[in-house]
Structure 1
Amino acid sequence: MTTDAPQNDLRKSLRKSPGKTGQSTTTAVAPATSSVDAEVVTSNQRVFVGLLGLLFAGACVLYTAFHVGVMNLYPLETWVYRLIHVSCGLALGFIFFSARAFPAPDGGQRPASWLEWILLLPAAVAIFTALVQIIWAIFTDGRVATGAPPEQMLMTFGYPILLGTVLAILASWVSPLGARDRLPPPDLLLAVAAITVGLYIISHAEFLRFRASVFPHGNDMYAAIAGILLILEMTRRLAGVALVVIVAIFIAYGFVGPWLPGVLEHRGYAPERFFAFIYTDNGILGPTTAVSSTYIILFITFAAFLQASRVGEYFVNFAFAAAGGARGGPAKVAVFSSGLMGMINGTSAGNVVSTGSLTIPLMKRVGYKPQTSASIEAAASSGGQILPPIMGAGAFIMAEITGIAYTDIVIAAIIPAALYFLSMYFMVDKEALKLDMHGLPREELPQFAAMARQAFLFIPIVILMGALFMGYSVIRAGTLAMAAAAVVSWLTPHRMGGKEIAYALEIAARMSLQLVAVCAAAGIIVGVIALTGVGVRFSSLLLALAGQSQIIALVFAMLVAIILGMGMPTTAAYAVAASVIAPGLIQMGINPLTAHFFIFYFAVMSAITPPVALAAYAGAAIARSDPMRTSLESFKIGLAAFVVPFMFFYSPPMLMQGAWYQNLHAFLSAGLGIFLFASAIQGWFFGQIHWTLRILVLGAALAMIGGGWQSDLIGLSVAAVIFAAQRFVLNPVKNQDQLKTRTS
């Protein structure tokens, strides 16, 4: 799926306006950074206007307000809450996102084809028949109770809901693309089908808890199949076909297992039991949806409040004021601002599109190549998901799966995240040194003093972190931070009143739809793994292949996490990889926190790992660079993230698992190692270095990263010798001149 970034004219984005004295005064980069807080409209997204726009905007507001209200004021039964989350999320998804990308320019409304009508009419009859039947059963208490006759409601609900869903999906595929502000009948029917499936499972939840795994009714199976088809179609529209294919393979595995060899073999399952089991809290309604219906939507709403209050714009302005004038300034701004925004919104490619539409053109302006500009943005946006305290959605899923306290996970993430962003800073700085780059002119940048006077706009982040470490629940801390964003906006020209709060709730719903679908799709895979037991058997296979070598097992885990992550977003990749791999690693004696962090890091970095690097491809589209070259360069820039997980495996203090002085030593020595690592990769130590010296510097870096006192001494000694040789032996005059130039 492609995205349409907010369009910026670089000449206008940094325009100056004449002051009273005739001197040029800056407009604080506001025209450019305003795009950071602009909603990104994807290529297949509808934009409603008029009465239809108000109606669906109201539906979005209700969807988000429902979640915030339930989490804070009126808790609902778990199944009911998660089913409403998934069903209404799917319905909104079909309303707002078309089956295909809209043409540019908009071709206007087009009449339905004869094939669409052939599919559409029976689909409408079948879906509304099922809807009326389930509503009637609820009001008359004619539900399909445990032990009910096999034929009860099959002709009026089971068969119709499945047939209608299939026909409506086919009709949406063949439907002529109309205008963006129109809702075609096939997608309206799919929205109704999603609500119908949700109503059936909600009304039968008390029965399904007991019978889904043993003797489900036929209606349970047909409702579950229809629901799975809706989830997969919405996932295809919002996340691409790769995750759909992976889910389809896992579903097929549930039936072909008896004929597979070795570790993949299982006894097979009846369709009724298989599909009914998948649509329970063992699968779709399990840990992935638990996270998406609480933490993910809460912090997406927090991000929407930052967007509506224009605080996100301030973050980027602050970064430009602090670093925009330094050498390679826009790249350093991208590292800071994209990491901060990626921490909150939790989607690598989406963050590249929003912040990259500003930072990539500016990086190109100061001299970075297009592919380098895109790769820096991609690596920074992906790194935001390992940056505490929010870490995208990963920390919440990890806490849900492992039972480790969220605050413990956040604390453990501090040093690895700091090392990753230090590495990125050194990489872009040394690239700027090699190419003799300069920053943006100071007169085109916001004044740091003015930005510093608005530092109170960081209060929502400070309150969030403070509340978490004071022991408040994640939900309470996120809600307080959300309220703080609205309050601090009253100290700016962009005050949040009722209209702005409603807008924040509206865009939060639309921003969350992709993750709702992706987490539900990942839940299907988790359900298949739980039902078939393939995760335990795969862990046994991992143990057998690795023997007693933990490092070999970790290499296997790295490869599996990266391969899974190439086809799905981070949250789904981590959830699946953790279900399959983590038990084996823990069984080998690896600490659970280390094992899960290890898998999570590589799931995140799959977004910049070729050949399928979704974040790098999004950046390449903005920079108009070659996608494969961009992915290769983003891999190089983010290479530290492929080293850091092995660092904290060998050195527990890297995850704050030691005394304070051990943690401090681990950070300082690894930080110097990261500097040497970036020097070796970029070929610039204190001046350009030959490839033979680069190898020695790389060896010194790996010694420093090791974390022991002896290895630190070796690394420091080698680095000192190379510095002395470079400074005083190889080319003393040239290097002294370079050092003077850099200092001045």
Structure 2
Amino acid sequence: MRSGASTRAGEAPPGTGEREAVAASETRRIEDMESASSRRVLRGPVGLALRWAGIAFVAFHLWVLLVSPIDPLTARALHVFCGAAIGLATFAASPRSRLDRIAWYDWLLMAASIGVVFHFMLDADGIELRSFIGPNLRDTVVGLAALAILLEFTRRTAGLAMPIIAAVFLAYIFAGPLLPGALYHRGVPWREAVNFIAGTEGIFGITTSVSATFIIMFVTFAAFLQASKAGDYFNDLAMSLVGWARGGPAKVAVISSFMFGTVSGSSVANVVASGTFTIPMMKRAGYDPDTAGAVEATASTGGQIAPPVMGAGAFIMAEVLGRPYQEILVAGLIPAVLYYIACFTHADLHALKAKLRGLPREELPPLLPLLKKLYLFSPLVILIVVLFSGFSPFRAAGLGIAATIVIMAVTFLAHRLVLQRQSPIAAVAGAGGELFRAIAEALASGSREALQLIAVCATAGIVAGVIGLTGIGGRFASILLALGGDVPILAISFAAVVALILGMGVPTTAAYALAAAVVAPGLIRMGVPPLVTHMFIFYYAVLSAITPPVALASFAAAGLARGSLWGTSLKAVKFGMATFLVPYMFYMNPVLLAQGAAADVLQAFLTAMAGVVLLAFATEGYMLGPLAAPLRLVVGAAALMCIVPEAKTDLAGIALGGAVLLWQWRAGRRGDAPA
């Protein structure tokens, strides 16, 4: 690894135009990596029609959510199956398919999707009535078509893992009477099963309800922020603040990924948005490709647990727990801060070990002009203020979108009036056209980003429906109780493993929804508080994005860094090792979820912070200097002491870690090599 100047002479970070071009190409490549099929490149009237269909799709949601609500079942059917029609047109069935046109069978599937929508639109009241008195043949046929279309839609947008899981659960409906022990159930008539799963207890259940309201709004909000160039601003601000420090590029990655991740709510999208800029910068600074990718993957993954958005799974959590979303945000604040403290500490220690300097100050954006653009944060500020003023999350997102549009309008107009010195009429006309194009691009981008989430949320509804229909959820709880026995820590560790396994190749929203359906009831029956249970599962579902063997965020970062998939994934786990213990901290001490008096919360936060920093020292094998193996064990033990929520162990852990720090400091002053 190279030490010394972090960039080659005369090699400046890429400019905005180059950055956008690189980001666009890398976005397409990463989307192909994470989907099981290939994105089509459609031109001419068909491509234009598809683009405007996406724009209309998101605009319809904004209208329904903010202006004129419609029947919930109809809204969910439109959400899933209009989304499916767009998704089937956007993604081909196979990488070997022609990508410049829509295949004839996809036209049929798209027509069938629209047919499903019309079935629910034209007979919503009758469908709800027949859910009590029994379905007719048309309900059953449409239900079968809906299931088949949804599974194919999910396969194309999210890969094979999620449809396979759903198919296994569907098969269980009919295989259950043949299975022994806890897996046995009495069986369900196939028509009853189809109509149950294709109804409001399955496909159109809680997960789709959340997707059709909160998720689509916040995905659109993030798209508008991107259209306003807020993502570039986050990168520039992070560079100006910490780019000059040792390991500056890695610290820029941590800070910019945190800022963008607070609204993107997707680890892979976060990797692509910030990694196209930060990963090449880290490589120029002397980071090897695997390490550069690992830093970006870990930092970007944390965006899904960072308020105010916290990823799509947090909206599902609020709905399942029956708590206001604002409470979930408050509960997630300290774990998110601990996550990024751990990331920042690892970045600093790695740079210290490798003697990596920061970027020359002359290559960094000047801070003062950036401070004059702090108004770009105003949509986020408005979002938070409105949320905590008692408004619904999607109304808060709507006001955030409106604020972003105002900022873009003022920026475009000022640019033409002040810099280009256009006449007022020409400036207004030009800025109006520019604003229209920016809004259209934001809506189109929002529809593209929402497709995968729509698919996985609806497919997660299939799994939830099977669990409710067969009663297997209660048996899962019994199995979990048997595994845990009288040791809850074993049961919650099992839940962590389940969340990590379910997250293999599956978006974290789906991983959380599945894991929560399978293991959350058992943990709650064992006495673990519901909020702690769901936050624990959610946290590990998020961490699955960097955990091999299938780590979507690590794989995306490896692609950008041109590194090894396994090497990047393993280094991401090492880089984020301290973050894997954060859920155990708030499991043992729920005060860390802001469940207690302010003084208790502050004390718990400070000791937990000491714990993650000490664990970072132990993992990196470096404090003020290299740590020999015995001292690494001592520091690791000190970190674990800080996790236990008792004053004696906290003080002992801090004292032990402080003693090692003091010993290294004194050894350094004497000129000895600390070890």
Partners of 1:256 and 1:340 in 2: CA distance: 48
Partners of 1:604 and 1:352 in 2: CA distance: 14
The letter for the 2-side match of 1:476 is R
Corresponding residue for residue 81 of structure 1: 75
More contact order relative to length (CA 8 Å, sep ≥ 6): 2
- Of residues 596-605 and 352-361 in structure 1, the stretch that sits farther from structure 2 once superposed is 352-361
Corresponding residue for residue 32 of structure 1: 19
Corresponding residue for residue 559 of structure 1: 497
Partners of 2:551 and 2:327 in 1: CA distance: 30
Partners of 2:189 and 2:377 in 1: CA distance: 55
Corresponding residue for residue 337 of structure 1: 256
Partners of 1:571 and 1:64 in 2: CA distance: 20
Distance apart, 1:201 and its partner CA: 3.3
Distance apart, 1:101 and its partner CA: 2.7
Corresponding residue for residue 573 of structure 1: 511
Partners of 1:681 and 1:418 in 2: CA distance: 19
Distance apart, 1:30 and its partner CA: 6.1
**SS of residue in 2 equivalent to 1:711:** helix
**SS of residue in 1 equivalent to 2:548:** coil
Corresponding residue for residue 252 of structure 1: 171
Corresponding residue for residue 609 of structure 2: 671
Matched, 1:455 2:367: no
Matched, 1:709 2:633: no
Counterpart pick for 2:548 among 610, 631, 636: 610
Corresponding residue for residue 267 of structure 2: 348
Distance apart, 1:246 and its partner CA: 0.9
Q: Is the 8 A contact 1:27 1:446 kept in 2?
A: no
The letter for the 2-side match of 1:480 is L
Corresponding residue for residue 427 of structure 2: none
Partners of 2:118 and 2:385 in 1: CA distance: 40
- Of residues 608-617 and 182-191 in structure 1, the stretch that sits farther from structure 2 once superposed is 182-191
The letter for the 2-side match of 1:603 is A
Matched, 1:291 2:285: no
Counterpart pick for 1:374 among 272, 283, 293: 293
The letter for the 2-side match of 1:352 is V
Corresponding residue for residue 42 of structure 2: 48
Corresponding residue for residue 516 of structure 1: 454
Partners of 1:632 and 1:366 in 2: CA distance: 21
Matched, 1:60 2:47: no
Distance 1:187 1:516, change over 3 A: same
Distance apart, 1:549 and its partner CA: 2.2
**SS of residue in 2 equivalent to 1:589:** coil
Counterpart pick for 2:130 among 211, 225, 244: 211
Counterpart pick for 2:403 among 479, 484, 502: 484
**SS of residue in 2 equivalent to 1:492:** helix
Q: Is the 8 A contact 1:325 1:441 kept in 2?
A: yes
The letter for the 2-side match of 1:101 is P
The letter for the 1-side match of 2:572 is S
Matched, 1:101 2:95: yes
**SS of residue in 1 equivalent to 2:365:** coil
Q: Is the 8 A contact 2:40 2:90 kept in 1?
A: yes
- Of residues 34-43 and 499-508 in structure 1, the stretch that sits farther from structure 2 once superposed is 34-43
Partners of 2:623 and 2:573 in 1: CA distance: 21
Distance apart, 1:179 and its partner CA: 4.4
The letter for the 1-side match of 2:57 is Y
Distance 1:179 1:542, change over 3 A: closer
**TM-score, length-normalised on structure 2?**
0.91
Corresponding residue for residue 316 of structure 1: 235
Distance apart, 1:12 and its partner CA: 12
Corresponding residue for residue 341 of structure 2: 422
Distance apart, 1:376 and its partner CA: 1.2
Q: Is the 8 A contact 1:29 1:317 kept in 2?
A: no
Matched, 1:630 2:568: yes
The letter for the 2-side match of 1:660 is A
Distance apart, 1:329 and its partner CA: 1.4
**TM-score, length-normalised on structure 1?**
0.83
Counterpart pick for 2:473 among 535, 539, 554: 535
Distance apart, 1:491 and its partner CA: 4.3
The letter for the 2-side match of 1:665 is Q
Distance apart, 1:15 and its partner CA: 5.7
Q: Is the 8 A contact 1:38 1:307 kept in 2?
A: no
Corresponding residue for residue 650 of structure 1: 588
Distance apart, 1:37 and its partner CA: 7.8
Partners of 1:324 and 1:30 in 2: CA distance: 21
Partners of 2:258 and 2:109 in 1: CA distance: 37
Q: Is the 8 A contact 1:37 1:313 kept in 2?
A: no
The letter for the 2-side match of 1:362 is M
Q: Is the 8 A contact 1:33 1:313 kept in 2?
A: no
Corresponding residue for residue 165 of structure 1: none
Distance apart, 1:193 and its partner CA: 1.1
Partners of 2:14 and 2:311 in 1: CA distance: 32
Corresponding residue for residue 325 of structure 2: 406
Distance 1:308 1:625, change over 3 A: same
**SS of residue in 1 equivalent to 2:627:** coil
Distance apart, 1:53 and its partner CA: 3.1
Corresponding residue for residue 193 of structure 1: 112
- Of residues 567-576 and 408-417 in structure 1, the stretch that sits farther from structure 2 once superposed is 567-576
**SS of residue in 2 equivalent to 1:388:** coil
Distance apart, 1:84 and its partner CA: 0.5
Counterpart pick for 1:661 among 584, 599, 613: 599
Distance 1:712 1:289, change over 3 A: same
Partners of 1:645 and 1:280 in 2: CA distance: 35
Q: List per-residue Cα deviations over 1:502-533 (Å, max 9, x = no partner).
A: 22112111111111111111111111111011
Corresponding residue for residue 585 of structure 1: 523
Partners of 2:279 and 2:667 in 1: CA distance: 39
Distance apart, 1:575 and its partner CA: 1.1
Partners of 1:722 and 1:264 in 2: CA distance: 53
Q: Is the 8 A contact 1:28 1:445 kept in 2?
A: no
Corresponding residue for residue 169 of structure 1: none
Structure 2 spans left out of the alignment, 5+ residues: 1-5, 33-37, 416-430
Partners of 2:60 and 2:8 in 1: CA distance: 41
Corresponding residue for residue 180 of structure 2: 261
Q: Which has the larger radius of gyration?
A: 1
Corresponding residue for residue 423 of structure 2: none
